[in-house]
């Protein structure tokens, strides 16, 4: 019997004896005195290729860090990014290539819910961090079952709950109509909205209209919603369909209270194409600054971002929100690596990613801060509501915490 | 496609039977030791290549030997993968038992799809099967089926361990397992096309009117070929799902159909062994293209494809046949 206690005691003793060494450099595969290898998987081709610029923005930011600061703590970042064409089977192949062949320290910001679902089990079995995944699905903050996977952006359900709370408070007798994309993204929002409305969901929601991402237009869905007597429209769409919806609503001379998801709230990408005159009073939420929103034109953070863009990505379209996204992801990563210091083990990377305290990114809204802990794997869980004026968003109300993190 | 002349020419190049056995032995001699020499990741890639080879072989039976076009084989691949995944996930069926089930399900689906497709020829059939490929991912996402398919979230599978305490890791074991299945299926395909039935299948491709005059039941044989082709692709799908350990609708888009089609043409239309090379091409060449240039990966892939078709108009199998014929002539 006693030997059972003896073994842990010996291990503990060895660990204690080894502990002075922990102040020295410690590495896992993928980190050396001169280099940190970071893997990434992006849909550079295929149906979601528009998001590929996120990977390019991250790459450009790491190039800037390597060129201007000589890397992080003297180690250059080697960013290896592969294309999966938004195909989960290919994502598995690329993840295995990164981990087993390129031997990266961890994978950063792999994009898409299907692709990340496909590699999650593998990454956790291999105990390689799958950090700051580029999807807002709510399932990524589950440290109990998947301690090596962490999200980044506010979960979709958090955002939807904010809208639900807004409706319950300001329009308790609303006739809600929902237009949503028929996939994980749309359904996640829908769940958050219904959860947020609680018992009232059944009586308040008068019409739900799904559309397929492959549909050419959503005209008939919008007409159906108007016909159902909807006075509060919640538009859960990707950018192209967001612009179409705003346009169609204006064409019909319809004036519902219109809430549009943050995904489709870009001034340059959605509202301008839809016609700014059609966008008055639309509601949404934000957590990052919109570079095409005149509100920020004198903002120091935005100026830094523009300087970075001009130097490292001069050909990119600055109205593309994905560029701000990639830039901010890269900055979060740099923060984690700085915290990790010379202890570049996978375990410590995960530990540091889970110890972000009130980090204010340049391009995040003032007051919207990154916070994580051993039980909170949602770095961003705060947003602020905003309403469109004549040419820009006006933030209003307090910074709200979505509450999904505390609920799960 | 249906012209008789190049086919009869091709038949003239056909190598003696013992060459095929020799070819198989060489492939086996190279393939069997590989898992002990390579990293797990490469073993996994080679396993996937064999999976694609089976699917391409299935497509080849239909297009190469029977002359029916299909751009919808990703749907059968998906059907096979989902059959295996649902059986393993919901009913705890062993992975090896899912293969025959996936095969039968796909055979029935292929046969049934083949019946209405009888009225369609050439490009029209291609269009009908294209519709099948486009609709499959959406059908898999339907909410009434979500209980089984997991909707967009897909189904996560567990990788099988080696049985009987064999000293192999899961990647190595799966490699051998897929190799055995592939060898069996290639053997069956070879026997099928060189049998009486196979001659009927080829006769329909070469000249349907003559075939009918000879007493070949066109509709039956065409539907059956569609079924067998779907069976092969379905088994490949099941193996692919098990190897990747995950199935989701977005894995089986139209792009997969095109990949299989490219593999078919590159390997050699109407060649059994060519499927291996075709699979190797569609799996590795896009990766090579990505290494050449990330921004222009698609264009580089396209250039490689054009060059290959220019250099080997009948695929690799055609090139090998041509070389063999030259060699045989020189000996004479």
Residues of chain A contacting residue B255, judged by C-beta atoms under 8 Å apart: 46, 85, 87
Residue from the list B44, B138, B294 with its beta carbon closest to the beta carbon of A44: B294
CB contact at 8 A, A253 and A197: no
Q: Do B246 and A46 touch (CB under 8 A)?
A: no
Residues of chain A contacting residue B141, judged by C-beta atoms under 8 Å apart: 182-183
Residue B7 has pLDDT above 70, yes or no: no
pLDDT at res. A404? 60
A112: left (phi over 0), alpha (psi -120 to 50) or beta: left
β-sheet bridge partners, residue A284: A386
Residues of chain A contacting residue B246, judged by C-beta atoms under 8 Å apart: 88-89, 92, 117-118, 121
What is the pLDDT averaged over residues A277-304?
A: 91
Residue from the list A44, A97, A182 with its beta carbon closest to the beta carbon of B141: A182
pLDDT at res. B54? 96
β-sheet bridge partners, residue A100: none
Residue from the list A44, A46, A121 with its beta carbon closest to the beta carbon of B245: A121
Residues of chain A contacting residue B248, judged by C-beta atoms under 8 Å apart: 88, 114, 117-118
Number of Cβ within 10 Å of residue B90's Cβ equals: 11
Q: Do A117 and B156 touch (CB under 8 A)?
A: yes
Residue from the list A99, A101, A117 with its beta carbon closest to the beta carbon of B154: A117
CB contact at 8 A, A355 and A339: yes
Shortest Cα distance, chain A CAs vs residue B244, angstroms: 6
CB contact at 8 A, A179 and A234: yes
Kindly tell me the sign of the dihedral angle through the C-alpha atoms of A311, A314, A319, A322: negative
Q: Do B248 and A117 touch (CB under 8 A)?
A: yes
- pLDDT band, very low/low/confident/very high, at B75 (cuts 50, 70, 90): very high
Residue B50 has pLDDT above 90, yes or no: yes
Which ipTM value was assigned to this complex? 0.74
Q: How far is CA B320 from CA B5, B10, B245, in A?
A: 19, 11, 36
Contacts of A31 (CB under 8 A, 6+ apart): A37, A75, A105, A344
pTM: 0.79
Residue A50 has pLDDT above 50, yes or no: yes
Cα separation of B153 and A185, whole Å? Answer: 11
Of B7-11, B31-35, B152-156, B274-278, least confident by mean pLDDT is B7-11
Q: Do B152 and A45 touch (CB under 8 A)?
A: no
What is the pLDDT averaged over residues A344-361?
A: 94
Per-residue b/e over A214-232, b at no fewer than 16 CB within 10 Å?
A: eeeebeebbebbbeeebeb
- pLDDT band, very low/low/confident/very high, at A18 (cuts 50, 70, 90): very low
Residue of chain B whose Cα is closest to the Cα of A46? B255
A183 touches B: beta carbon within 8 Å? yes
Closest residue by Cα to residue A88 from B286, B171, B139, B155: B155
Of A22-31, A121-130, A166-175, B269-278, least confident by mean pLDDT is A22-31
Shortest Cα distance, chain B CAs vs residue A11, angstroms: 28
B156 touches A: beta carbon within 8 Å? yes
Cα separation of A299 and B174, whole Å? Answer: 56
Residue with tokens 């084989």, as numbered in its chain: B73
What is the pLDDT averaged over residues B28-48?
A: 88
Residue B9 has pLDDT above 50, yes or no: no
- pLDDT band, very low/low/confident/very high, at A113 (cuts 50, 70, 90): confident
Long-range pairs of A74-79 with CB within 8 A, sequence gap ≥ 24: A74/A33, A74/A34, A75/A31, A75/A32, A75/A33, A75/A34, A75/A35, A75/A36, A75/A344, A76/A34, A76/A35, A76/A36, A77/A35, A77/A36, A77/A38, A77/A337, A78/A35, A78/A36, A78/A37, A78/A38, A79/A38, A79/A40
Residue A166 has pLDDT above 50, yes or no: yes
Number of Cβ within 10 Å of residue A150's Cβ equals: 24
Q: What angle do CA B191, B193, B195 make, to 5 degrees?
A: 65
Mean pLDDT computed over every residue of chain A: 88
Residues of chain B contacting residue A182, judged by C-beta atoms under 8 Å apart: 141
CB contact at 8 A, B133 and B257: yes
- pLDDT band, very low/low/confident/very high, at A58 (cuts 50, 70, 90): very high
pLDDT at res. A59? 96
- pLDDT band, very low/low/confident/very high, at B2 (cuts 50, 70, 90): very low
Residue with tokens 């893997």, as numbered in its chain: A39
Residue B83 has pLDDT above 80, yes or no: yes
Residue A272 corresponds to which tokens in the numbers above? 């301008």
Residues of chain A contacting residue B44, judged by C-beta atoms under 8 Å apart: 93, 96
B251 touches A: beta carbon within 8 Å? yes
Q: Do B290 and A100 touch (CB under 8 A)?
A: no
Mean pLDDT computed over every residue of chain B: 86
β-sheet bridge partners, residue A207: A177
The DSSP call for residue B310 is H
Residue B238 has pLDDT above 50, yes or no: yes
> Over pLDDT 70: what percentage of chain B?
94
Contacts of A257 (CB under 8 A, 6+ apart): A171, A174, A231, A232, A233, A281, A283
What is the pLDDT averaged over residues B32-50?
A: 89
Cα separation of B209 and B46, whole Å? Answer: 42
Q: Do B152 and A85 touch (CB under 8 A)?
A: no
What is the pLDDT averaged over residues B100-120?
A: 90
Residue with tokens 């080697």, as numbered in its chain: A78
The DSSP call for residue A80 is E
pLDDT at res. A232? 95
CB contact at 8 A, B241 and B88: no
Q: Convert the pLDDT of each residue in A199-228 to its tens digit.
A: 999 999 999 999 987 778 899 999 999 999
Cα separation of A25 and B135, whole Å? Answer: 54
Cα separation of A102 and A97, whole Å? Answer: 6
Residue of A381 and A12 predicted with greater confidence: A381
Residue A2 has pLDDT above 80, yes or no: no
Number of Cβ within 10 Å of residue A206's Cβ equals: 16
Cα separation of B236 and A12, whole Å? Answer: 50
pLDDT at res. B49? 93
pLDDT at res. A408? 39
- pLDDT band, very low/low/confident/very high, at B149 (cuts 50, 70, 90): confident
Cβ burial, residue A29 (10 Å; 0-12/13-18/19+):
middle
B64 touches A: beta carbon within 8 Å? no
Residue B330: half-sphere exposure toward Cβ, Cα within 13 Å: 6
Cα separation of A24 and A35, whole Å? Answer: 17
The DSSP call for residue A361 is -
pLDDT at res. A406? 43
Closest residue by Cα to residue B78 from B134, B159, B14, B22: B134
pLDDT at res. B33? 86
Residue B174: half-sphere exposure toward Cβ, Cα within 13 Å: 28
B290 touches A: beta carbon within 8 Å? yes
> Over pLDDT 70: what percentage of chain A?
93
pLDDT at res. B28? 85
> Over pLDDT 90: what percentage of chain A?
66
- pLDDT band, very low/low/confident/very high, at B15 (cuts 50, 70, 90): low
- pLDDT band, very low/low/confident/very high, at A8 (cuts 50, 70, 90): low
């Amino acid at each position: 019997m006693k030997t059972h206690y003896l073994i842990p005691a010996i291990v503990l003793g060895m660990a204690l004896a080894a502990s002075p060494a922990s102040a020295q450099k410690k590495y896992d595969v993928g980190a050396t005195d001169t280099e940190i290898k970071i893997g990434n998987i992006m849909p550079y081709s295929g149906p979601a290729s528009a998001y590929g610029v996120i990977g390019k923005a991250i790459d450009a930011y790491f190039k800037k860090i390597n060129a201007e600061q000589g890397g992080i703590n003297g180690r250059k970042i080697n960013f290896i990014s592969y294309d999966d064409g938004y195909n989960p089977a290919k994502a598995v192949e690329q993840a295995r290539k990164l981990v087993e062949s390129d031997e990266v320290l961890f994978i950063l910001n792999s994009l898409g819910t299907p692709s990340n679902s496909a590699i999650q089990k593998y990454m956790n079995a291999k105990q390689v961090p799958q950090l700051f995944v580029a999807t807002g699905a709510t399932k990524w903050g589950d440290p109990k079952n998947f301690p090596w996977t962490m999200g980044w952006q506010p979960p979709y359900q958090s955002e939807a709950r904010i809208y639900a709370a807004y409706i319950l408070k300001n329009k308790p007798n609303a006739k809600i109509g929902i237009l949503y994309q028929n996939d994980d993204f749309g359904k996640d929002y829908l769940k958050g909205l219904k959860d947020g409305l609680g018992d009232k969901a059944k009586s308040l929601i008068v019409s739900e209209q799904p559309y397929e991402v492959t549909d050419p237009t959503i005209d008939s869905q919008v007409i159906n919603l108007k016909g159902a007597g909807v006075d509060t429209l919640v538009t859960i769409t990707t950018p192209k369909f967001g612009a179409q919806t705003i346009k169609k609503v204006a064409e019909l001379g319809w004036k519902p209270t219109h809430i549009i998801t943050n995904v489709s709230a870009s001034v340059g990408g959605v509202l301008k194409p839809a016609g700014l005159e059609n966008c008055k009073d639309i509601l949404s939420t934000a957590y990052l600054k919109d570079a095409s929103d005149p509100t920020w034109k004198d903002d120091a953070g935005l100026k830094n971002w523009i300087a970075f863009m001009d130097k490292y990505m001069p050909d990119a379209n600055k109205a593309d929100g994905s560029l701000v996204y990639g830039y901010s992801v890269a900055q979060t990563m740099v923060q984690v690596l700085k915290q990790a210091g010379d202890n570049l083990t996978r375990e410590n990377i995960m530990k540091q990613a889970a110890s972000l305290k009130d980090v204010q990114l340049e391009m995040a809204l003032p007051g919207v801060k990154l916070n994580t802990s051993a039980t909170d794997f949602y770095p961003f869980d705060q947003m602020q509501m905003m309403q469109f004026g004549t040419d820009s968003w006006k933030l209003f109300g307090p910074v709200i915490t979505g509450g999904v993190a505390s609920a799960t | 496609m249906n012209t008789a002349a190049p086919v009869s020419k091709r038949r003239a190049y056909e190598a003696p039977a013992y060459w095929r056995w020799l070819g198989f032995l060489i492939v086996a001699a190279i393939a069997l030791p590989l898992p002990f020499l390579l990293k797990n990741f490469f073993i996994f890639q080679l396993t996937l290549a064999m999976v694609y080879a089976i699917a391409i072989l299935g497509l080849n039976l239909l297009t190469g030997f029977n002359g029916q076009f299909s751009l919808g084989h990703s749907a059968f691949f998906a059907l096979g993968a989902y059959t295996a995944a649902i059986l393993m996930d919901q009913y705890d069926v062993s992975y090896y038992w899912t293969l025959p089930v996936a095969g039968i399900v796909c055979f029935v689906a292929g046969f049934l799809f083949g019946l209405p497709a009888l009225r369609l020829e050439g490009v029209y059939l291609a269009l009908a099967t294209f519709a099948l490929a486009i609709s499959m991912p959406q059908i898999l996402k339907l909410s009434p089926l979500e209980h089984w398919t997991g909707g967009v979230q897909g189904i996560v599978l567990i990788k099988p361990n080696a049985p009987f305490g064999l000293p192999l890791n899961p990647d190595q074991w799966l490699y051998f397992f897929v190799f055995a299945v592939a060898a069996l299926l290639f053997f069956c395909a070879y026997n099928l096309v060189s049998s009486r039935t196979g001659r009927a299948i080829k006769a329909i491709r070469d000249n349907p009117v003559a075939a009918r005059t000879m007493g070949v039941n066109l509709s039956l044989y065409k539907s059956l070929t569609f079924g067998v082709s779907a069976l092969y692709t379905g088994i490949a799908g099941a193996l692919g799902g098990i190897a990747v350990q995950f199935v989701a609708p977005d894995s089986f888009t139209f792009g997969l159909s095109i990949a299989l089609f490219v593999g078919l043409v590159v390997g050699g239309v109407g060649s059994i062994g060519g499927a291996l090379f075709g699979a190797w091409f569609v799996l590795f060449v896009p990766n090579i293209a990505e290494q050449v240039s990330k921004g222009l990966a698609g264009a580089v892939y396209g250039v490689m494809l054009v060059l290959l078709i220019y250099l080997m108009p009948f695929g690799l199998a055609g090139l090998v046949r041509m070389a063999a014929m030259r060699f045989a002539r020189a000996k004479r």
